[in-house]
Amino acid sequence: MSLRVLMLDPSGSSVNSTHNLCNYLTELGCDVHVYTAPHWLWVAGDCSTLSYPVNIAFYRGTQTKSYAANTAVT
């Protein structure tokens, strides 16, 4: 039986360090699950190569609107 790990990153603000830690834990044989915000998917890019599941559980309706906003100064 492997160790089960639940990683929480509600704001999706520590994607890189959390991602590296989760990859290392899965290499050690842990069953890792990440619960985070939509921002995670935007920063992480292609999630098909992840060795752990990412669950969007926080800020589902609020962060996605900011990605569609035009931030260029005109």
Q: pLDDT by residue (tens digit) across 3-51? A: 999 999 888 888 888 888 999 999 999 999 999 887 777 666 655 667 8
* pTM for this prediction: 0.70
Q: How many domains does the chain have?
A: 1
Domain of 19, in residue numbers: 4-68
Unique residue bearing structure tokens 């939509």: 38
Residue 53 domain-assigned? yes
Q: What are phi and psi of 64, to 5 degrees?
A: -65, -30
What is the sign, positive or negative, of the torsion defined by CA atoms of 7, 18, 71, 56? Answer: negative
Residue 73 domain-assigned? no
Residue 74 domain-assigned? no
- The kind and range of the H/E element at 40 are helix 39-44
